[in-house]
Amino acid sequence: MTGAPGVDDPVSGQIANYRNVREQVERSILPLATSVDGWTFEIQASLHHLTLKRGYYVALETESGVRLGQVTDVSMHSERVDMPGASGSSSGVLVRVAVGTGLMLDAEGIPFHDASVRVARPEEVSGWFAMTGHNRALLTIGELAAAPGVSATLDSGGFNRHTFMCGQSGSGKTYSLGLLLERILAETSIRVVILDPNSDYGGLRRLREDADPDLAERYRPVLDQVAVWGGDPDAENPLRLRFAELSTAAQGAILDIDPVGDREEFAALADLLRAAEQGGPLITEPDQLLKAESEGPRRLGMRAANLGVFDWSVWSTEHPSILQELRNPTRRCVVVDLGSLETVQEQRVVAEAVLSTLWELRRSREPCLVVIDEAHNVCAAEPEDPLTGLATGTTVQIAAEGRKFGLYLLVSTQRPNKVHQNVVSQCDNLLLMRMNSQADLADLTSVFSFVPPGLVAGAAAFRMGQALVGGKFFPQAGYVVMGARVTQEGGADIPTTWARPVV
């Protein structure tokens, strides 16, 4: 029976000697950076003193002084090196080292070699951000994850570009979008229209009891500027439409009429609209079709009845239409509570009507931030029905041409690959929260090429409330910890009290 190797065992001694030499070599590796172009740099550091992480801000001490940079990616590199004293190892010592890449923040285009590296102090980071400021409102959304205590502020003027926000369920996306809207409403004067599919943003008109007093006081004037339009008939602003307000294409989509395949019925619908323009009877609600004198409109009415269109609560002549509010606004912020409507079809027709009306009003050139939450249901990559197809087409138009008319999109989703590519590709701002799907991260890396790929990859390890922010509204893409809201949020998960042990 062979016993375990003792202290004097030659093999054990060689292994111990090997490990000792390797540790000494690895600990002796200095944190150094080299830049061959003065704009980017490569970095090395010891794994035993690993303080340089992806997204961190670093001070690079060169012969000409201290310069500020940001680590964009870090990984472990191994290499065999012949070392004296590594007896018993004919192939050398396997040395492991942290290596990475980074961007110069105060880039001057001056190369350097073997600059000493240390984590930048908060005051150094805040000083650099202060120098990048513009004469526009700054929106404080939290603090920098890599520089605790340093405020993360967005340049409000950067929202004159379209913004894409995404994060999987549980990432804090809904809470963070609410926070972002609070800051926009409190610090700017831009008009905001929100398509709210899950009834999450009605709380923008109610302050939290535990809100920061200073922020709450800053936001207080906004409360009376927020109008929520909901499906409840007793709501302050019942969410209602007129059939006649809709475009011919939308009316045809509601009635499931194809302009080519259902030529006669579509022509009858067009005739009704032309007659109304010339002083004929105005079809304000679909059930008026059944009472028409001619056969064509009655056939349209029967189709509508069979599709259940008459049962939609969204039709009304008693209450103001949401489209009237868009055309003649009485409030600065309009929350269109799609989630309060009874059917998916009603949600789709209202979303399409709102987007089409905003596009129709584009020549007024009144700046407006159009917020589309759960955007994969409104501007889908593959629309499931004609109404969604119309909404998608209008959103694509706004994405492509809206900026010159003052229409700016803020598109939010859990499923980035389900949003139409022509919408995503037009976005110049990114706010990315936790996303585990490697396929989604790869797609986002490709579309948002202005964000370093290493920073995008880090989103898979985010905790709730952490985000990657980059684009026209942030001077350099980086990691942010979102702050606290001042208004009541929606979107909370159902409590898991059902999972408690049964006594």
State yes or no: pLDDT of 302 exceeds 50. Answer: yes
State yes or no: pLDDT of 281 exceeds 50. Answer: no
Q: How many residues does the chain have?
A: 503
% of the chain surpassing 90 pLDDT: 65
Q: Which residues contact 333 (CB under 8 A, 6 or more apart)?
A: 185, 191, 192, 193, 194, 204, 222, 225, 226, 227
**Of the ranges 85-94, 164-173, 254-263, 489-498, which one carries the lowest mean pLDDT score?**
85-94
Q: Measured between alpha carbons, how far is 207 from 6 in angstroms, rounded to an integer? A: 71
Pairing of strands 466-471, 474-482: antiparallel
Summarised one tens digit per residue, pLDDT across range 27-76 is 888 899 999 999 999 999 998 877 889 999 999 998 888 999 999 999 99
Confidence at residue 280, expressed as pLDDT on a 0 to 100 scale: 46
**Of the ranges 78-82, 164-168, 272-276, which one carries the lowest mean pLDDT score?**
272-276
State yes or no: pLDDT of 259 exceeds 70. Answer: no
Pick the closest to residue 252 from 234, 264, 240 (CA basis).
Answer: 264
Label residue 149 exposed, middle or buried (CB < 10 Å: 0-12, 13-18, 19+).
Answer: exposed
Pick the closest to residue 31 from 48, 19, 14 (CA basis).
Answer: 48
State yes or no: pLDDT of 223 exceeds 50. Answer: yes
% of the chain surpassing 70 pLDDT: 87
State yes or no: pLDDT of 308 exceeds 90. Answer: no
**Of the ranges 1-5, 237-241, 389-393, which one carries the lowest mean pLDDT score?**
1-5
Contact of 153 with 129, CB cutoff 8 Å: yes
State yes or no: pLDDT of 468 exceeds 60. Answer: yes
Confidence at residue 20, expressed as pLDDT on a 0 to 100 scale: 83
Q: Which residue has the tokens 């890599």?
A: 146
- pLDDT: which is higher, 412 or 293: 412
Mean pLDDT of 455-479: 96
In DSSP notation, 206-246 reads: SB-TTS-HHHHHHHGGGGGGEEEEES-TTSSEE--B-GGGS
Confidence at residue 191, expressed as pLDDT on a 0 to 100 scale: 97
Mean pLDDT of 296-317: 77
Contact of 196 with 489, CB cutoff 8 Å: no
State yes or no: pLDDT of 195 exceeds 70. Answer: yes
State yes or no: pLDDT of 22 exceeds 70. Answer: yes
Q: Measured between alpha carbons, how far is 94 from 82 in angstroms, rounded to an integer? A: 9
State yes or no: pLDDT of 85 exceeds 60. Answer: no
Summarised one tens digit per residue, pLDDT across range 99-121 is 999 999 987 788 999 999 999 99
Mean pLDDT of 397-402: 97
Which pLDDT band holds residue 278 (cuts at 50, 70, 90)?
very low
**Backbone conformation region of residue 402, classed left if phi is above 0, alpha if psi is from -120 to 50, else beta:** alpha
CA–CA distance from 367 to each of 351, 409, 432, 467 (Å)? Answer: 19, 11, 25, 27
Structure tokens at 349: 């027709």
Rounded to 5 degrees, φ, ψ at 166 are: -150, 155
Confidence at residue 306, expressed as pLDDT on a 0 to 100 scale: 77
State yes or no: pLDDT of 338 exceeds 90. Answer: yes
For the chain, give the longest Cα–Cα distance: 109
Element housing 40 (H / E): strand 40-45
Mean pLDDT estimate for the chain = 87
State yes or no: pLDDT of 276 exceeds 70. Answer: no
How many beta carbons lie within 10 A of that of residue 401, not counting itself?
A: 13
**Of the ranges 35-49, 303-317, 465-479, which one carries the lowest mean pLDDT score?**
303-317
Mean pLDDT of 407-426: 97
Rounded to 5 degrees, φ, ψ at 210 are: -100, 20
Q: Measured between alpha carbons, how far is 20 from 45 in angstroms, rounded to an integer? A: 19
Rounded to 5 degrees, φ, ψ at 354 are: -65, -50
State yes or no: pLDDT of 310 exceeds 50. Answer: yes
Question: Within its chain, how far is the Cα of 132 from the centroid?
Answer: 23
Structure tokens at 392: 């998608």
How many beta carbons lie within 10 A of that of residue 166, not counting itself?
A: 26
Q: Measured between alpha carbons, how far is 404 from 121 in angstroms, rounded to an integer? A: 41
Structure tokens at 238: 């019942």
Confidence at residue 238, expressed as pLDDT on a 0 to 100 scale: 94
